[in-house]
Structures are given as structure tokens and as C-alpha cells.
Amino acid sequence: MEMQLDGAGVVVTGGGNGIGAALVRELAGRGARVVVNDLDGDAARRVAEEVGGTAVPGDAASEQGVEGLIGRAREVLGEIDLYCANAGIAPLGGPEASEAEWERAWQVNVMSHVRAARLLVQPWLERGRGHFLSTVSAAGMLMSLGAAPYSVSKHAAFSFAEWLSATYGHRGVTVQCLCPQGVRTDMIENTGRMGELLLKPNALEAEEVARITADALVDGGFLILPHGDVAKYYAHRGADTDHWLAGMRELQKKLD
């Protein structure tokens, strides 16, 4: 279903910095009324003030935090037309990463989406329309070397978005996945050698990603791919998985 941004009620989680802040500015610039959420309350308030939006600081991953955010957003907006599940974290490491890191990746990158959908979908079905945008990253379609908790949780977020689309798409709920590779934000600075080798050379500005995303919201296609090569990599991964994995192992050698 076509998304009308002018006048739409929008929530952006992780909206205080990076892609989230750029999305807030872009969507507000196209006429949306935006609620800005972030754990960093000062950042959320700063961005909201820039665009005449409303800041609702807090944890968009916990059950209580999601309930509070969506409840407050409905008070402000009347109804939520578009929910941008953008907040995410990218812990590094593999099996040796701590239980706490694995758990936090699961809560922020996956359960935040599940908990939001739990509260949003039924009202959207009753209205006959609603729009859910998951910021998943290309790691959810491919992988992120050196960051197993991130890769695994983003694959799960991608799968959940697919499930939502397949289950409710015929009833007016539009689901889209934003899957960029490198974006020039604070997060990319924490990716170490992997980021230097694989992400930074073709990194986009957050503002460009936000513009591409806003254009794609109007069209409604499931995949939003600011980096065009991701579609080719994804197709190759599915068509010849062994060859694709061999290539990933060669990249891992460089990282080693």
C-alpha cells in the first residue's frame, strides 16, 4: 500500500543519532509528524526540537519501554502510521562473546521489533493499513565477519520482517527492510579492521540512506538496498552457497 508521508504519524527508534536522526529529519522534511525515541534522552530531544517533533526517550527494546513509547506516541500522534524500528547494536566477537552481549543483541535487534509488532499489528488490521520499517542492515541478508551476535540477531530480524509481510501483507500491513552496508555513523567507527576493509570504502552518508529510504517507503517494496551490490551478493549466496562461503573465508583470512 502506498505510503503518504505528508501528515503521517511516525515513530523512529534510535532517532537521536546516525541513520535514525537522518530518517527523522528526512521524514519530517516530507511533512511527517515524528516521535523521536532514543536511549540518549538529550540526543532525542535535540533532534525532535530541530524538526518540531516530540521526544520520547527510553529503551525501545524492553517490554515496558516499548509499551511506554507506543502509548505516548499514540497520545501525540493519534495513531501510528509508520513505525521505524531502527535502534540497533553491533557487538563484536564470536562464541566467546559474553552471555550479556548475546542477550543484549537479541533484545535490541530482534525482540524490540517483536514487541512493537505485538502492539501495532492488531490496530493496523482494524484500520486496514499500517507500515513497519525494520532497519536490519546487509548483515541480516549476508553476514558480518567478526560480529557473530550482530549477524545472528540481524538474520533473525530479517526473518521476522519477512514473516510479518507474508502473514499480514494482504490485510494492509506493509513491511519493509532497510539493509545498508557501511554508513558513516558512530557505529561504523567501532567495527575495527573489518570496517576498515569491508565497510568504509563504499560507505554512504546517513542522509543519503535516509533519502533513499523515504523514496522507497512510497513504493512499498520489501527490500530497501542503498548499496546496489547487496542484491547481487544475496543472489549469489542463494545460488551457490559454497562458493559464496569460500569467498567469505578469503575475506576472513585478510582480517586475520
Q: Which of 83, 150, 168, 233 is catalytic?
A: 150
The CA distances from residue 243 to 32, 73, 233, 249, in Å, are 45, 47, 11, 10
Kindly state the cell numbers that stand for 176: 519493509
> Which value, in Å, is the radius of gyration of the alpha carbons in the chain?
18
Q: Tell me, what amino acid is at 90?
A: A
Nearest in space to 225 (alpha carbons), one of 140, 118, 128? 140
3-state secondary structure of 151: helix
The CA distances from residue 19 to 2, 14, 16, 74, 227, in Å, are 23, 8, 9, 23, 14
Tell me if 45 sits within 8 A of 20, measured CB to CB. Answer: no
Kindly state the cell numbers that stand for 191: 567495527
The CA distances from residue 245 to 203, 249, 251, in Å, are 23, 6, 10
Q: Tell me, what amino acid is at 7?
A: G
Q: 94: exposed, middle or buried (C-beta count within 10 Å: 0-12, 13-18, 19+)?
A: exposed
Q: Is 233 one of the annotated active-site residues of the chain? A: no
Contacts of residue 89, Cβ cutoff 8 Å, sequence gap at least 6: 104, 105, 108, 109, 150
Catalytic center residues: 150
